[in-house]
Structures are given as structure tokens and as C-alpha cells.
Amino acid sequence: MKYSGPGNMPLRQGYFTRRDGRESGFGWTKIKKKHAITKYGAIEFITKGPNRKHQGGTSYKQWAYAGKYKCRNGVCRLVKQYKVIVAVQESKRHAGRDGKPKGVITGYCQGVVRCPAWVSTTLNKQNQGVAAEAAPAGETLRSGYQPLAESLRTTLEVTATVADTFRYKSEYRPPAGTTAAARRTEEALHQASYSSQQ
């Protein structure tokens, strides 16, 4: 993973077990099985971010925020927000043969054992630089390194069609992709003459 500390940080396969009411584990297996974070990119968004706090020795805690908004009439209100924490161990003592740090120990949503699926989705999309996902039924998802705003305004994205492109663009030739029939219709609507007026 990209890491805001020194070098890159491994996310190892690790393990997770439950036995006699006790749990143990670390790494990707623990993150997925216990805490339900299912996207590598969600973890990397946090490890490469600016929020990094020393926990003692070679341990660090990092975090980011994921939130869900309910939207109505262009205004969205924050209905749920999670602080998502990743614990990192920079020690190389138990690294094995590769000589790299032990790496990411765990990742979880503060306050719950299992993160909702939308948390992984929005953090992963943010990591990829993709626009925040518009969730169904008037919802939207956002994430960032600072706590999210209590409300925000949405903007309507308008997509122009090929016919619109032809209708509102000046050129000597019609744009590629317009059909012959569409061109003839437009030409008939907007004809002009160079003949002199007597």
C-alpha cells in the first residue's frame, strides 16, 4: 500500500480465528472476515492519508471518514458517518523473509464490529479518484480525511446528446457521429444565402 510514513506498507494475507470465545489474527483476512472491509483500495486510501498518530513503539494509527447522505430537493443531510481506522506496525522483527515491516494489522469502523458495505465502496472510489457514488433512493456517499459536513448541495449533471452537440456548435462541417438525416433537418432549418439584395 502507499503509505504516508516511510516507504510503502505491506497488507499481508494474515489470518483470523475464533476459538473458545477468543479471537486472534491480523492482516487482510482479519479485516475482511471480522470487520467487513472488502476493498484493498479502501485500506490504501487511509494508509496514504495525512492522519497518522503514533501509538507507541513502531505502531501507528491512521484514519479517514465515510458518510452517507439523504438528499431531497438538491440538499443532502448527513445521516451516518464512520471514522475508519487502520492500525499499522512498522516493525520488521516479525516480517519473515522479505525484510519488510509487518504492515497493516487491522482496519475497522469505530463503534461497530462490521462496517456497512457502502463504507468500503466509497473509500475505494475516493482512492481511485472516481466521483463519489450516487446511492439509490435519494442518497449519496462521500469520504475524506476530515469529518464530513452536516449538509451539502447536489448539482445536476446534464449530458448533451449528439443532436444537441450538432445543434449548438458552429463548424464548417457537422461533428462526427451525426446522422445524414439529422444534418439535412438542421441544414433545412438554418439555411442562409449569399445572393445580393436588389
Which grid cell sits at 183? 444534418
Mark whether 164 and 136 lie in a shared domain: no
pLDDT given for residue 99 in this prediction: 86
Q: Confirm whether 168 is domain-assigned.
A: yes
pLDDT above 70 covers a percentage of the chain that reads 72
Q: What is the pLDDT of residues 97-119, one digit of tens each?
A: 788 999 999 999 999 999 999 99
Which residues form the domain of 173?
A: 158-191
For the whole model, what pTM was predicted? 0.75
Residues of the chain under the 50 pLDDT cut: 156-170, 190-198
Check: CB of residue 146 under 8 Å from CB of residue 78.
no
Mark whether 164 and 80 lie in a shared domain: no
Mark whether 84 and 164 lie in a shared domain: no
pLDDT given for residue 25 in this prediction: 96
pLDDT given for residue 159 in this prediction: 47
Mark whether 164 and 148 lie in a shared domain: no
- CA-based max dimension of the chain: 103
Encoded amino acid at 24, one letter: S
pLDDT given for residue 194 in this prediction: 45
Mark whether 127 and 172 lie in a shared domain: no
Mark whether 19 and 116 lie in a shared domain: yes
Tell me how far apart the alpha carbons of residues 63 and 54 are, in angstroms, rounded to a whole number.
12
State the total domains in the chain.
2
Q: Confirm whether 5 is domain-assigned.
A: no
Check: CB of residue 107 under 8 Å from CB of residue 89.
no
Mark whether 110 and 93 lie in a shared domain: yes
Mark whether 185 and 113 lie in a shared domain: no
pLDDT given for residue 152 in this prediction: 87
CA torsion through residues 143, 146, 150, 155, sign: negative
Which grid cell sits at 101? 515491516
